[in-house]
Structure formats: structure tokens, C-alpha cells
Amino acid sequence: MATATPRRFVTLDVFTDRALAGNPLAVVLDAEGLDSNQMQAIAREFNLSESVFVVKPTDEFNRARLRIFTINHELPFAGHPTVGAAVLLATLDKVSTSTDFVVEEGVGPVPCHVTVKGPRFGNATFAVPRLPEILEEEPMTVEACAQALGLDKSDIGFDGYTPVVASAGVPFVCIPLASRSALARISPSAGRLIATFGGAADSVYVFCRDEDGEGDLRARMFAANMGIDEDPATGSAAASLAAVLMAGEKPDDGFHAFDILQGVEMGRPSLVRLGLEVAGGALIGVTIGGGAVIVSEGTIHI
């Protein structure tokens, strides 16, 4: 048997300011020498929605290259791995206040700003490397969306919003819901989701206005094709939603912030901060931000 190499790993809870909330993430440090199959197997071993592997950047001026895996395949870009890895890298660099650096992902270079709040907690905001766009208007009927989610037709849509497919590197079926009650009543099955949406996108992102005023929007995300029953917080989906909000809200020029609460229904409350920069009536920039807390550290031998 070949000698195994000890490799550090850290787990964090992301898009939260406290442990045991938000979206769990595993980050494998010292990942040099691992091939894609090994990374995929390790991600499956962690059995989290995503795991990150930190390797040397292709550009020496960048902080690191991040390879992101679900339990089934590699992703070109994802939000909560970017936030969590950025906070971890800043703490490893012994940053006492704040720092800026670039990480490389499959979708391109991602500029990050990190504020360190303590030895195990910080906030990170990153610029989405690819502007989101709506790929397909009304990819399926309201009836089909309602049936797939276990809802009534009247639960689908609000303020002129209708189902669309949007992407900032990873496509999502974005479905507007009329109320928080409808959001709470979703009862999807993996079979129904795959049968209805599998041809349009791997993931379904449902959202509504936050009637309680705790945030601006509430959301849930399901990705049956990726082996994710429900995701507590999805930065890449929020990035895709920026294109939807741009079309629906028609914001004026300037910066606009939206707080999105997710994961509440599954007991993992999360807060994703979405920023839209608008100039000349067009979307010119999108940011995703949130907190991350280091929960555990260890070593794997691969």
C-alpha cells in the first residue's frame, strides 16, 4: 500500500455568524497532488453540498485556486465555497482587520474582500466573475411548477415575476412564490423535480418577498440531480437571481442591496447579501457577501 499524505482540512458554517447554522463547507488544504477522481471521492466522503480543494494559483499574484466539488461532480463556481474559503485563507494569513485578494475558480478570477472578526470568524464579499443572465423565459408552465413543488397554481408568481432559467455560471430554475406560506408548504420529491426541471437546469431556486421584514427576500434551493435534497444557502443562485431582480425591480442607477434569508425551514438559517451595481439602466456588477465561522479542523490521509 502506498504511503498516504496527511492533508489538513477545515469545516466552516457559511452565510452565518454562528456555528451550527448556515451552510456547512469542507475546505481541504495541502491539496496539491490530488487528481480529480481523488477530490471527487473526498467530497463524497465529507457528504456536504460542496467541498473545496485549495491548490496553487496559475497566476502567482492570486491567492489560490479553488476547485469545488459536490458529491457528484465539479462546479465551475459556487458562492458559499467562495465565501468560506476566502474567510479561511484570510485567517490563515493572520489578517487582523481586512484584506483583498483574488482566487481562481473554473469560471474565472474572483476578487474577494475579507473582514476578519476574530480567530474563527469573518465576513467575505466577492465580485461575481460572470454577469448573470436570463437564459430562458418561462421554461415550463405555472401548472408544471406548482405540481413539481406540491403547491397550487395560485402560489406561483408575484408582481409580474414568472419562472425563468437564470445563470451566473451555474443555471438555476428561478420560481417566484406569492407568499412565505407557499415557501413553507413546498413538498417536493426528487423524482418530480428531476422529471419537471432536469432538462432546464440541475437546481431549482424558489423565492418570495419577506413579509416579516427580517430581510428583503426569502428563498429555498433544491438540487435533486446533484444529490442535494435542500441547500441551506446558495450564493450562486443568489447571483443568478440578480438578473431576475434586474428585470423585475427595474432599479435605478447606483448600488442596490438585497438581504436573502434561506435555510430557515430546514433549521439552518442563513443570510446571503446580494449587491447589484446599475449604470445606464444596465447591470454592470454583482456581489455576494456573508459570514463564515470555523467549526472544526483535522487531517485526512490520502
Give the confidence band of 226 by pLDDT, cuts at 50, 70, 90.
low
Give the confidence band of 224 by pLDDT, cuts at 50, 70, 90.
confident
Write out pLDDT tens, residues 131-163.
Answer: 999 998 888 899 999 999 999 999 999 999 999
Q: What percent of the chain stands above pLDDT 90? A: 87
Phi, psi of 192 (to 5 degrees): -65, -40
Q: pLDDT at residue 1 above 60?
A: no
| Confidence (pLDDT) at 200 | 62
Q: pLDDT at residue 51 above 80?
A: yes
Return d(Cα 25, Cα 153) in angstroms, integer.
36
| Confidence (pLDDT) at 19 | 97
Residue 98 and residue 113 in contact, taking contact as beta carbons nearer than 8 Å: yes
Write out pLDDT tens, residues 157-210.
Answer: 999 999 999 999 889 999 999 999 999 999 888 888 888 887 666 689 999 999
| Confidence (pLDDT) at 227 | 65
The string over 32-50, giving b where at least 16 C-beta atoms fall within 10 Å of a residue's C-beta and e elsewhere, is eebeeeebbebbeebebbb
Beta strands in 130-237 (DSSP E): 133-137, 164-167, 171-176, 203-209, 217-223, 228-231
Q: Is the pTM of this model over 0.85?
A: yes
| Confidence (pLDDT) at 229 | 84
Average predicted confidence (pLDDT) for the chain: 95
Q: Which of 50, 104, 105, 230 is catalytic?
A: 50
Q: What is the mean pLDDT of residues 257-263?
A: 98
Return d(Cα 231, Cα 184) in angstroms, integer.
14
| Confidence (pLDDT) at 199 | 65
| Confidence (pLDDT) at 228 | 72
* 171-176 and 203-209 strand pairing: parallel
Q: pLDDT at residue 12 above 70?
A: yes
Phi, psi of 87 (to 5 degrees): -65, -45
Q: Is 50 among the residues known to form the active site?
A: yes
| Confidence (pLDDT) at 223 | 86
Residue 53 and residue 105 in contact, taking contact as beta carbons nearer than 8 Å: no
Q: What percent of the chain stands above pLDDT 70? A: 97
Total length of the chain:
302
Q: What is the mean pLDDT of residues 268-285?
A: 98
What does the DSSP 8-state code read for residue 49? S
